[in-house]
Chains A and B, each alone.
Chain A
Amino acid sequence: MTLSSIRTGSSRQSRAKRRNRPPGSGAGPLMAAPGLILLTAFLAIPFIGAVVMSFFRIQLGNPRPPRFVGLEQYARLLFDPDISSTFLRSLANNFAFAIVVVPLQTALALGLAILINRKLRGMTVFRTLFFMPLVFPLALVAVIWRLIFARDENGLLNGFLDAISGGAIGPHDWLGDPATALGAIIVMSIWQSVSFQMIILLGALQSVPPELYEAASIDRAGRWSQFIHVTVPGVRNTLIFVTLLTTIFAFRLFDQVYLLDKSASINIEATQTVMFQVITTGYDQNNIGQGSAMAVVFLIIVALIALIQRRLIRQEGGVE
């Protein structure tokens, strides 16, 4: 979103420049100051702090001063068997999560957006129900789904499977079994956040000019062909944006895993993520330098995704 805004922004800005404007007074910096000071203090400086701290061995409350260790923390991420195996495992989990969630959630969101864009009786009620999970904070989502996935026959999902199969399907430990733990997190995440993508895509669908559909239907295009030739190109930019946003969120995955690890003894091997590693290493194990090195790697990944976003949207702009 932000990067495409720059593009539209700069074209509007140049239009504004051509107009005659009185020279600005000192009010500009004054107006911008509070926001900029806070951003510097709580984002820019800590960011530099993360990079600096990643070169040190730091423990909070340790009387010994931080010790400069150069690139050692980064080297350990790759070569220290204790740390690197967990770290690479986390990275792999992040990628596995993204590879499943990004296409699945985007496709689902597009399908749902098309469905709720239809003008049918009672649609307001359906829309309300579809949007509702979005307002549920993850801390609460984790509580609800922990009960749904509860391991014995008392879990809702196990009870449901038992009922529809007449007892043929036995209870399964969804969160504890490494084969299903990440899948359970995926289901939970999609349930909570697919509506957000759906809303954004709904807005995009409604901005596709209706004349295009009329022209297509005069050309006797079927529904599928209308979808491929009108709908998809019409929402292309938004689809790219939604896909990349979901990818960035996939790498931020933390709350659900941390919550379920602390309370529901989820299989942590199968579900730990880079952010989980950052916090457990830096905070729980009080190894701030090592945690910072992981945070920097995390940031590089997020920045790469953002760069790809810029590239893709610019390409699209060139076509226009």
Chain B
Amino acid sequence: MSIVRSRSGGIATRVVEYALLVLFAVIFFAPIYYLVVGSFRPGDQVLSGIQGFFPSELTWDNYLDVIRRFSNSTTGYLWQFIMVSVVVTAIVVIGGLLVNSLAGYALARMRWRGRSFVLVAVTVLTIIPFEAVALPLYFMLNGSRNTVFVQALPFIASAFSIFLFYTFFLGIPNEIEEAARLDGAGPFRTFFSIVVPMSRPAFATVAILTFLAQWGSYLWPVLMVTDTSVRPLPLELSVFQAAQPPEWGSVLAFGVIFITPVVVVFLIFQRWFVASIASSAIKG
């Protein structure tokens, strides 16, 4: 790489590269900037062409309006939407890490009857997208609509996550587990105290991908949730923005509240996030 750089790292190249970087940075960031600035503009000025991009007057009113608006049982409470999203996402991420890593481990490192059949079955199931089974699931689970658990339960197990863990565990040298076994550790003990701490990249990747998918999950809540009390954030956002007449300032403030925790987590773990997705994709 160093030679390539010295060959092609002329000033003209640099200028072109920076120009492209800035251009794409603007393209990627402009909509986000528009969201944040819009959330601080007086509601009637959000939609005002190019003016919406250059603030002349900023206010907290939209945020106050969101808090005021979602503080009675008819509209639902803001903290409730946040709690539902947090609880559902936590169940899916934590439960998923536990259940899928155990299954991946059992498939990769243990001998048992039916193991190879299960391995093939899991592989086949990775092909089936949730969208294809949404209707029968809706039909089957119709009796337990409007609960928090029905929003989380179908997403805990994931054939794809099992597969990521499976491939990762295959790569762990066997000797370490054998040593643990000779010390008298049972399979569960070996897994939790030896294998799990060694497998942070796999756990991080699955956690990140699951978190992003679940935090933004929309289709299943559309089918399963009609009650404001168990509405997750994405569904409430879509209901709120469909209101007539739309109050854009408040909708955008709601959007900022929705995305801020994710962006904060992303900024803190940015390097990790990028490295783990890139490396797991390469492994695959």
Contact at B160–A32, with CB atoms within 8 Å? no
Q: Give CA–CA (A34, B101) in the complex, Å.
A: 11
Contact of B50 among A136, A150, A159, A258 (CB under 8 A): A159
Residue interface bits A189-206, CB-to-B below 8 A is 1, else 0: 001000110011011101
Q: Give CA–CA (A140, B234) in the complex, Å.
A: 7
Q: Give CA–CA (A185, B266) in the complex, Å.
A: 25
**Shortest Cβ distance from A253 into chain B, in angstroms?**
10
Which chain A residues border B137 with CB–CB below 8 Å? 42, 46, 49
User: Which segment, of B26-34, B58-66, B68-76, faces chain A?
Assistant: B26-34
Q: Is chain A's interface secondary structure helix, strand, loop, or mixed overall?
A: helix
Contact at A25–B154, with CB atoms within 8 Å? no
Contact of B284 among A1, A29, A202 (CB under 8 A): A1
Interface size classification for chain A: 35 or more
- Are A35 and B157 also in contact (CB < 8 A) when A5-B167, A136-B259 are? yes
Contact of B32 among A133, A203, A254, A259 (CB under 8 A): A133
Within 8 A of A (CB), among B130-160: 130-140, 142, 153-160
Q: Give CA–CA (A194, B219) in the complex, Å.
A: 22
Is A168 an interface residue, CB under 8 A from the partner?
A: no
Within 8 A of B (CB), among A112-152: 112, 115-116, 118-120, 125-148, 150
**Shortest Cβ distance from A158 into chain B, in angstroms?**
7
Interface size classification for chain B: 35 or more
Is B191 an interface residue, CB under 8 A from the partner?
A: yes
- Are A43 and B163 also in contact (CB < 8 A) when A130-B28, A147-B47 are? no
Within 8 A of A (CB), among B180-237: 181, 186-188, 191, 212, 215-216, 218-219, 222-223, 233-235, 237
- Are A50 and B52 also in contact (CB < 8 A) when A5-B284, A29-B112, A132-B266 are? no
Is A24 an interface residue, CB under 8 A from the partner?
A: yes
Q: Give CA–CA (A247, B25) in the complex, Å.
A: 26
Q: Write the chain A residue with the least CB distance to B265.
A: A135
Which chain A residues border B233 with CB–CB below 8 Å? 139
Is A47 an interface residue, CB under 8 A from the partner?
A: yes
Q: Give CA–CA (A163, B53) in the complex, Å.
A: 12
Is A153 an interface residue, CB under 8 A from the partner?
A: yes
**Shortest Cβ distance from B188 into chain A, in angstroms?**
7
Q: Give CA–CA (A163, B241) in the complex, Å.
A: 28
6 residue pairs A–B, Cβ–Cβ below 8 Å: A27-B187, A125-B25, A127-B274, A140-B255, A204-B282, A295-B134
A interface residues with partner B (beta carbon < 8 Å): 1-6, 8-9, 12-13, 16, 19, 21-32, 34-39, 42-47, 49-50, 53, 58, 60, 112, 115-116, 118-120, 125-148, 150, 153-156, 158-160, 162-163, 191, 195-196, 199-200, 202-204, 206-207, 210, 213-214, 217, 223, 226, 238, 241, 248, 252, 254-255, 258-259, 262-263, 275, 278-279, 282-283, 288, 291-292, 295-296, 298-299, 302-303, 306
